[in-house]
Structure 1
Amino acid sequence: MTRIPSTSRPLSLKRRHLLAGAAAGAALLTLPAMIGRARADGPIKVAAIYTVPVEQQWVSRIHKAANAAVERGDIEYVFSENTSNNDYERVMREYAEAGHDLIIGEVFGVEDAARQVARDYPETAFLMGSSFMPKDDAPNFAVFDNYIQDASYLSGIIAGAMTKNNNIGMVGGFPIPEVNRLMHAFMAGVKETAPDAKFQVAFIGSWFDPPKAKETAFAQIDGGADILYAERFGVSDAAKEKGVLAIGNVIDTQSDYPDTVAASALWHFEPTLDHAIEMVKAGSFKAENYGVYSFMKEDGCSLAPLGTFEAKVPEEAMKLVAEREAAIRAGTFEVAINDEEPKSN
């Protein structure tokens, strides 16, 4: 694994305009439906581009899965972190130009530019976090998202059983589909055990601003919240300081907040990345929705161990959690996916 600063000098981009103009249009008409060249035996070259530090919740799960693949010998891995949206396209082109087989990252703010890069490098596989679906004009550009609504719903059941005043605060980054669906699933879980619960919903306009998230959480506690949904870093710190509970998202922070974090919904990126590696090696990578590999039935998400709260959650709530999890994995119960912006009530 190699850390590449996002401000590194550009590599030669001798093919920057290879598919420009009319030539690009003609080339796109002949692109195959998948990348048809199987890779030789041995590790494939993977590069990742992150707009935040690798310690951030969402990105840390991708980073963890990539490092696991390195340890297995499946990939060679380099990455850039803290890459600004204005610089994202340049870094994508550098990695494609350097001959990486698979480029992963998140393009929520640079969607059009990222898809253009994919069109310009048709032999490179791109697997990008996106709120949009694959398109025919970029057959080598697959998308993923953390569809962990199953685990979020289960964590909500626990939150509903633990609240004393039916007032729950929720602090998110941006009201985009990948955040909205998790919040809605959590709220649905809460309603299972606390049907009269009310929610305070706020977004801080940043993916990584712990101080702002903390201050927003303080305001919700002042508004009566006794449990906080910590979609962003900083929320659990506020909960700890004020002596209320928090529900984690994407990563497990129970050991860091043993008296605060009652439950967490975990995202496991390994099934998503492992499928992409398999497809690249087979020469079968294509534009498809990898979001399904985050579902619980694909082992893409789970409820974290409760740790110090193992014996504190009411028994009836844990019985319901077990029943619902079994039904989700069996396909007999489906957690609704609602991408609309959640509102306070």
Structure 2
Amino acid sequence: MAAKTPSLPLSRRAFLLSSLAGAALLGTAPGMVRAQDAKKLKVAGIYTVPVEQQWVSRIHIAAVAAQEAGGIEYTYSENTANADYPRVMREYAESGYDLIIGEVFGVEQEAREVAADYPEVAFLMGSSFKPEAGLANFATFDNYIQDASYLSGIIAGAMSKSGNIGMVGGFPIPEVNRLMHAFMAGAREVNPDITFQVAFIGSWFDPPKAKETAYAMIENGADLLYAERFGVSDAAKEKGILAIGNVIDTQADYPETVVASAIWHFEPTLGHAIAQVQAGAFSAEDYGTFSFMKEGGCSLAPFGTFEGKIPQEALDLVASRSDEIKAGSFAVEINDSEPKSS
């Protein structure tokens, strides 16, 4: 059973839990270790938000898929307050877990101190910082899905008629900034004169505030919105304009609104960690590249109800750029600086 730790979380992402990949249920998800290849590992997840939330849901889905495939035993604690996070890490480490995954953006130093006390346990944590050579059992990751964000920007640039796009984010931290910049670069490739309204709501989960911010952008001429936060697509739907999603695919909830979404796939990241632990080779590694498109870590969601409604020129550009990204002949710039309005 999963531990339920009540808290007032510093939310990072929000989403209705999407379905597990069918391939993962039938066998092994991309990058996952097969059960017969090695003993099952005990894996624990520690999350500051419910597992239904957007960013964390991608980690949880990958872990459940690995368990369904027979490679690991998985449990988790959700709604873990930052103040409680180190304690929960220690409890899992003391309980014999081989690999602990989670997100320590609000408790960076404390989490590393815990890891130092349990050198035999592997820790793979979402972080804005890099791993330390002197802390061999603490690896970091983040959702470097700039490739898919760039492609979604191409779609946005082609679909915006006013050439004015509104972008609503949570906080201007590296993982958000780089996705916004990539999106903007993709849109500019289609329309060099396109303009952007950029705002951050100062919260990871405040749909009403995100919605109000989006309303203001629409009033200021935006005819398409980049929905980094929940609430933005609701504003777009109510005002009859389009939106682009982030991390998850919400088109089923907004079939006439969300044109495209950049999707994060955590399976390659987790798969590599599992393999390294089983091989006795886990180290202070930066797992960021496992979110790249060429590693299978991100993709552009199916267009669904917008099939046949996107200009062919944009679709051709998306296809060619996708091939180039996967081949390594085209690299989307990683820009972690705070984006500004045009």
Amino acid at match of 1:5: K
**Using the alignment, how far apart are the partners of 1:238 and 1:84 within structure 2?**
30
Match of 1:148 in 2: 145
Match of 2:261 in 1: 264
**Using the alignment, how far apart are the partners of 2:303 and 2:67 within structure 1?**
30
Match of 2:196 in 1: 199
Match of 1:3 in 2: 2
**Using the alignment, how far apart are the partners of 1:140 and 1:218 within structure 2?**
46
**Matching residue within 236, 243, 248 for 1:239:** 236
Match of 2:63 in 1: 66
**Using the alignment, how far apart are the partners of 1:245 and 1:3 within structure 2?**
38
**Matching residue within 84, 90, 94 for 2:81:** 84
**Using the alignment, how far apart are the partners of 1:309 and 1:41 within structure 2?**
44
**Using the alignment, how far apart are the partners of 1:301 and 1:283 within structure 2?**
27
SS across alignment from 2:83: helix
1:47 and 1:95 in contact (8 A); partners too: yes
Amino acid at match of 2:300: L
Query: What is the Cα deviation at residue 307 of structure 1?
Result: 0.3
Q: Write the mapping of 1:316-331 to structure 2, written as runs, cut at 5 A.
A: 316-331=313-328
Structure 1, 134-143 or 208-217: larger mean CA deviation: 208-217
**Using the alignment, how far apart are the partners of 2:40 and 2:207 within structure 1?**
37
Matched, 1:182 2:174: no
Paired residues in the alignment total: 313
Unaligned runs of 5+ in 2: 8-36
1:263 and 1:304 in contact (8 A); partners too: yes
SS across alignment from 2:334: coil
Q: Write the mapping of 1:278-317 to structure 2, written as runs, cut at 5 A.
A: 278-317=275-314
Match of 1:132 in 2: 129
**Using the alignment, how far apart are the partners of 1:90 and 1:288 within structure 2?**
24
**Using the alignment, how far apart are the partners of 1:256 and 1:263 within structure 2?**
13
Structure 1, 256-265 or 84-93: larger mean CA deviation: 84-93
Match of 1:24 in 2: none
2:150 and 2:332 in contact (8 A); partners too: yes
Runs of at least 4 residues off by over 3 Å: none
**Matching residue within 99, 113, 116 for 1:116:** 113
Query: What is the Cα deviation at residue 137 of structure 1?
Result: 2.3
**Using the alignment, how far apart are the partners of 2:67 and 2:208 within structure 1?**
34
1:119 and 1:137 in contact (8 A); partners too: no
SS across alignment from 1:272: helix
**Matching residue within 33, 47, 50 for 2:47:** 50
Amino acid at match of 1:68: A
**Matching residue within 328, 331, 344 for 2:341:** 344
Query: What is the Cα deviation at residue 218 of structure 1?
Result: 1.4
Report the structure number with the largest CA radius of gyration.
Answer: 1
SS across alignment from 1:133: coil
Q: Please, what TM-score do these two structures have when normalized by structure 1?
A: 0.89
1:56 and 1:208 in contact (8 A); partners too: no
**Using the alignment, how far apart are the partners of 2:218 and 2:94 within structure 1?**
50
Match of 1:100 in 2: 97
Query: What is the Cα deviation at residue 48 of structure 1?
Result: 0.7
Amino acid at match of 1:212: K
Unaligned runs of 5+ in 1: 9-39
SS across alignment from 2:112: helix
Query: What is the Cα deviation at residue 7 of structure 1?
Result: 4.2
Match of 1:75 in 2: 72
1:52 and 1:208 in contact (8 A); partners too: no
Query: What is the Cα deviation at residue 41 of structure 1?
Result: 3.9
**Using the alignment, how far apart are the partners of 1:274 and 1:98 within structure 2?**
22
**Using the alignment, how far apart are the partners of 1:268 and 1:67 within structure 2?**
13
Match of 1:276 in 2: 273
2:6 and 2:79 in contact (8 A); partners too: no
Match of 1:16 in 2: none
2:247 and 2:264 in contact (8 A); partners too: yes
Change (3 A) 1:41 1:327: closer
**Using the alignment, how far apart are the partners of 1:344 and 1:55 within structure 2?**
31
1:52 and 1:207 in contact (8 A); partners too: no
Q: For each residue in 1:268-325, what CA deviation from the matched residue of structure 2 results, as whole angstroms up to 9, or x when unmatched?
A: 0000001101111111111100010000000100000000111110000000000100
Query: What is the Cα deviation at residue 3 of structure 1?
Result: 2.2
Match of 1:211 in 2: 208
1:148 and 1:301 in contact (8 A); partners too: yes
**Using the alignment, how far apart are the partners of 2:76 and 2:291 within structure 1?**
22
**Using the alignment, how far apart are the partners of 1:90 and 1:129 within structure 2?**
17
**Using the alignment, how far apart are the partners of 2:6 and 2:91 within structure 1?**
12
Match of 2:12 in 1: none
Match of 1:19 in 2: none
Structure 1, 233-242 or 258-267: larger mean CA deviation: 233-242
